[in-house]
Amino acid sequence: MISIEKERELRTAVRPQVAVAEGDGIGPEISQAVQLVLREAGADLDFVPIELGERVYRRGVSSGVTDETLDLLRDTGVLLKAPITTPQGGGFKSLNVTIRKMFGLYANVRPARALAPFVETLHPAMDVVIVRENEEDVYGGIEHRQTRDVTQCLKLITRSGAQRIVRYAFEYARANRRTRVSCFSKDNIMKMTDGTFHQVFNEISASYPEIESEHLIVDIGAARLAANPERFDVIVLPNLYGDILSDVAAELTGSVGLAGSANVGERFAMFEAVHGSAPDIAGAGVANPSGLLNAAVMMLAHLGQVDVAQRISDAWLTTIEDGLHTRDIAGPRTRLMVSTSDFATAIAQRLGMRPRTLHAPTVGVPVMPAGFDDAATTALVKERVGIDVFLDWTGEPRVLAEQLRALPTPLTLEMITNRGTQVWPRGSDLTRCVDHWRCRFVGKERATMREVLDTLEAIHAGGFDIIKDEGLFTFDGVAGYSKGQGQ
């Protein structure tokens, strides 16, 4: 027979460890409130405190996280993170983006569900889940100032990344008994990047015939989400659109303070509130811990503790029904406006109770099938056909064309654009031109690397300021580059 101490030691050894970052601003208040509820509910967890955010930034760590903390996160595999503050100004990297990319957290999941009639909203039947790609798009943070007038940000969409997030959205829908997955993109304009995302969606949706699928251009999709969110169930989007619309969806429910968020990868997951650190109300005891609590509920489901997650969710809904509300959701149904800590205590007191009107949705964890991105490795014949050379130059398009055509380049000048709009050989004298020019040089059928280098050397020798170049390739004979606007 083993001792009580030994039994506790053995039990602790197999309990999931969760790294907890209490964050900045209102972070410590809501984090402590959530930890109280988790303990009272019997969550089988070991909390490992870590430090992230503003204090780390202020010590000169531009990422907001030290190498030692990153090692600890790798060991735990799960992070419950309260909001942090990123200092204003250059030189500081987004901590969220750093963690998402370093740990491969490709799926961001944000449920947005109305709590009518207890929390006021114009959309009482709303129950939508935003599944957002989390690593790519313009969030790669690859930006450059190229001329006095022009800065650029690169938008990167990979086929394999699109496959992972679209597959995850359908598996999420299947695991949670959802009936429709909608995809938003802007592929009427960004035909290659967003076009890839849309194409992958069409391919993968065919594997889920029991789930309805649709695609909408993101602007009309956003308009319909704002006007009639009840028509949507699960929405899958590239990173930027998902970031914006998940906050919109959360606010439509009545308060962004209600929404939790899961960031999921193959071997690591981070759970957080949707809202920020709100330093203007820090220490006032009025912050709503619901967003972080709902993130913790998602975390428990991720760790297999579904029964505890359900108990907490039911107690939270019962508290809302009983009219105990924090300031941000106070309204006609509020019986007593309570502080952050009192709200957490009220939830703990209602553990084991079931709500009378509101009901927590089914909690299901997607199971990603093996080989889900195999199609991304399909071999394609790639051939070089030319190069786009970007110049910092001031003058008229016709003059630039004459000067470039006079150079001894082995490749032929085919087109000049300014900010993407064709200005030579066709163009309009009404087009506003700045100091950023894309000059396309092509071979007769294909181009060798030697011809590309000789073309660049001739342009440089001609006194032009080359700020960037992009290779032009075909893949199985299909152009892997866009035309100029107006071409």
Same domain membership, residue 392 and residue 270: no
Chain segment 470-482, per-residue pLDDT in tens? 999 999 999 999 9
Helices (H) and strands (E) in the chain, counts: 14, 20
Q: What is the mean pLDDT of each run of 10 residues along the chain (487 residues)?
A: 41 75 95 98 95 86 87 95 79 77 93 95 95 93 94 96 96 94 97 97 97 98 97 98 95 91 94 92 95 96 93 96 96 96 98 91 69 60 97 97 98 97 93 97 96 98 97 96 86
325: domain CATH number is 3.40.718.10
Which of helix, strand or coil describes residue 109? strand
Same domain membership, residue 314 and residue 433: no
Same domain membership, residue 391 and residue 282: no
Is 6 inside any structural domain?
A: no
Residue after which a domain boundary falls, among 326, 349, 372: 349
Handedness of CA 472, 474, 480, 481 (dihedral sign): positive
Same domain membership, residue 388 and residue 342: no
Q: What are phi and psi of 151, to 5 degrees?
A: -115, 155
Chain segment 284-321, per-residue pLDDT in tens? 999 999 999 999 999 999 999 999 999 999 999 999 99
Contacts of 400 (CB under 8 A, 6+ apart): 391, 393, 416, 424, 437, 439
Question: How far apart, in whole angstroms, are the C-alpha atoms of residue 130 and residue 361?
Answer: 15
pTM: 0.90
Which of helix, strand or coil describes residue 71? helix
Is 168 inside any structural domain?
A: yes
Same domain membership, residue 215 and residue 122: yes
Domains held by the chain: number:
2
Same domain membership, residue 448 and residue 393: yes
Is 361 inside any structural domain?
A: no
Question: How far apart, in whole angstroms, are the C-alpha atoms of residue 300 and residue 234?
Answer: 21
What is the predicted pLDDT for the residue at 485? 83
Question: How far apart, in whole angstroms, are the C-alpha atoms of residue 278 and residue 198?
Answer: 36
Same domain membership, residue 449 and residue 322: no
**Boundaries of domain holding 438:** 380-479
Note whether 103 and 270 are within 8 A (CB). Answer: yes
Same domain membership, residue 423 and residue 277: no
Note whether 328 and 254 are within 8 A (CB). Answer: no
